[in-house]
Amino acid sequence: MAWKERHSESPTVLLRISDGTFQINRAFSDFTQALRSAEAYAGAGCMVMMVSATGKYLMGFEPRWQRIAV
Q: Is residue 34 part of a domain?
A: yes
Number of domains in the chain: 1
The per-residue pLDDT for 1 is 44
- 57-65 long-range Cβ contacts below 8 angstroms, 24+ apart: 58/13, 63/19
Residue 63 lies in a domain: no
38 inside domain = yes
- Examine residue 39 and state whether it is found in any structural domain, yes or no: yes
From CA 58, how far away is CA 48, in angstroms rounded?
Answer: 11
Which residue range is the domain that position 43 belongs to? Answer: 11-19+28-52
Please report the pLDDT score of residue 64 as a whole number. Answer: 85
Q: Would you state the pLDDT for residue 65?
A: 73
9 three-class SS: coil
This model's pTM is above 0.85: no
User: Given this model, what pLDDT does residue 68 score?
Assistant: 57
β-pair partners for 24: 17
CA distance 37 to 54: 20
Tens digits of pLDDT across the chain (70 residues): 444 555 556 668 999 999 999 999 999 999 999 999 999 999 999 999 999 988 899 999 999 876 656 5
Residue 32 domain-assigned? yes
In this structure, are residues 49 and 16 in contact, taking their beta carbons and an 8 Å threshold? yes
Whether 36 maps to a domain, the answer reads yes
